[in-house]
Structure 1
Amino acid sequence: MSETMQEKKRSLFPSMKLVAIAAGAGLIAGAVAVYLKEAAKGNGQEQTVAVDCTPAKATVARLTPFARGDVAAFIVNKDPQALSLPAFKTATGKDARLEDFSGKVQLVNLWATWCVPCREEMPALNGLQKALGGERFQVTAINLDTGSDEKPKEFLEETKIDALPLYHDATLSSFNALKAAGVAFGLPASVLLDGKGCMLGSLNGPAAWEGDDAQALIKAAIGEGA
């Protein structure tokens, strides 16, 4: 085998590995998730938000055919409801909320440095943000490491995750809120929200988010090409 072919094989291995993991998640949603035995209740509670999510049903219908391939484990929410999470911290220690990004479709991802599938998924989320992030869409990745944010900061720097700012929830309140909503069973966990905060669907376990299947799903959610 030539040196060039060997290099290509090595470069493809991480993405192929993630695709294999995601395929397994498609068969049994959440089966590859790293399960949390207990989660701290935290200081915040899930907010009740008065939002009319009826229009989101049209978006759900549009994206449903795209829950396939690398994102076959994506579970479409046929009855969209507003979702709000407790405040989390920015890299500078300031409070942030999902509502701060209203108007954008958001892929909200919960991850931790101790979660191996999460670590393997982060480059894919970074790639998705680079490909489609902008005024209409963003990946909102919230780290759940307890204690300080030193470890997640080091991880993002070491792995060159340069398109995703650090958001940190040391209380695990974000996970508890998604668990209470019945859409998070372990890590990683992702939910797709429209610009009003209505939940369009969810996925437990990792996915090849930078791939064509995932990008087609996101484009359908933001109405690109519709």
Structure 2
Amino acid sequence: MVRGRRAALGLLAGGTLVGGLSPRPARAQNAIGKLVEEGPKPLPAITLTDPEGRERDLSSIVGPGAGKGIVLNLWATWCAPCVEEMPALDRLATLLAKEGILVIPASSDRGGRAQVDPFFARTGIQHLGPWLDPRSAATRALGARGLPTTILIDPQGRERARLEGGAAWDSAELVADVRRLCGTPKPGTEPT
């Protein structure tokens, strides 16, 4: 029995598991997410609670006349990949603040602000407001299969892409994708 455990540990230490699979650290597994462009497509009606405690229809922020692109992150404080990517979303919000693109982290925590505010304070999140998705209504309306799920919404209020799982949102590649999909298009380059 001991010999079998040592052999298994040796295989793990050597970087290969039975069947030829290479193990990845748990952190790397949580960080895997692929941005999938599937739009543009209309959004369902979504209501969130904003940082001031008011219910806001998402269409009042994006869509005709509003002109804001949105990175809508569906998350919760109990979700390890959500917690891991939150600092990168905070940095993304700083990078995009002057470009008319909002980063909205919509928490589905049942404790609401009483749970989210201490989490933001403890983790040093400074550029994101505590948006709430009461009863996970937006999560269901958007058909999210799990948390975190991030929806990229263009200034016309259309879903352009989504990413299921955690991501390094402040990486050069994802920042460029967010700008391209959520930013205000240059005249004559309007996406269809």
TM-score, with structure 1 as normaliser: 0.64
Cα deviation 1:99-144 (Å, max 9, x = unaligned): 2322111111101011111011100000101011235211111010
* Residues 87 and 125 in structure 2, CA contact (< 8 A), matched pair in contact too: yes
Q: What is the aligned partner in structure 1 of residue 43 from structure 2?
A: 83
Distance 1:158 1:142 in 2: 18
1:190 aligns with 2:154: no
The one of 177, 184, 188 aligned to 2:141: 177
Paired position in structure 2 for 1:147: 111
For residues 71 and 140 of structure 2, what CA distance do their matches in structure 1 show?
18
Partner of 2:179, secondary structure, is helix
Quick one: which of 163, 184, 201 aligns to 2:161? 201
SS at match of 1:109: strand
Residues 44 and 142 in structure 2, CA contact (< 8 A), matched pair in contact too? no
Task: Give the aligned partner of residue 21 of structure 1.
Answer: 30
2:90 partner amino acid:
N
8 Å Cα contact 2:150/2:162 also seen in 1: yes
After the TM superposition, list the runs of 4 or more consecutive aligned residues in structure 1 that deviate by more than 4 angstroms: 16-20
Percent sequence identity over aligned pairs = 31
Q: CA RMSD in A?
A: 2.1
1:126 matched to 2:135: no
From the superposition, tell whether residues 170 and 21 of structure 1 become closer, same or farther in structure 2 (CA, over 3 Å): same
Which one of the candidate residues 13, 23, 35 is aligned to 1:74? 35
Amino acid at match of 2:72: V
Q: Deviations over 1:179-204 (max 9, x none)?
A: 1xxxx110000111111111101110
User: How far apart in 1 are the matches of 2:177 and 2:108?
Assistant: 26
Unpaired segments of 5 or more residues in structure 2?
1-24
Q: 1:47-85 CA deviation, whole Å, 9 max, x = no partner?
A: xxxxxxxxxxxxxxxxxxxxxxxxxx01111x4221134
Report how many aligned residue pairs link the two structures: 157
Q: Tell me how far apart the structure 2 counterparts of residues 198 and 154 of structure 1 sit (CA, whole Å).
A: 32
**Corresponding residue for residue 67 of structure 1:** none
- The residue type equivalent to 1:87 in the other structure is T
- Using the TM superposition, give the Cα deviation of residue 20 of structure 1 relative to its aligned residue in structure 2, in angstroms: 5.8
Equivalent of 1:162 in 126, 132, 136: 126
- TM-score normalised by structure 2 residue count: 0.74
Aligned pair 1:112/2:76, yes or no?
yes
Question: Which residue identity is paired with 2:76?
Answer: A
**Cα distance, 1:19 vs structure 2:** 6.1
One-letter amino acid of the structure 2 residue matched with residue 192 of structure 1: L
- Taking the aligned partners of 2:92 and 2:27, their CA distance within structure 1 comes to 14
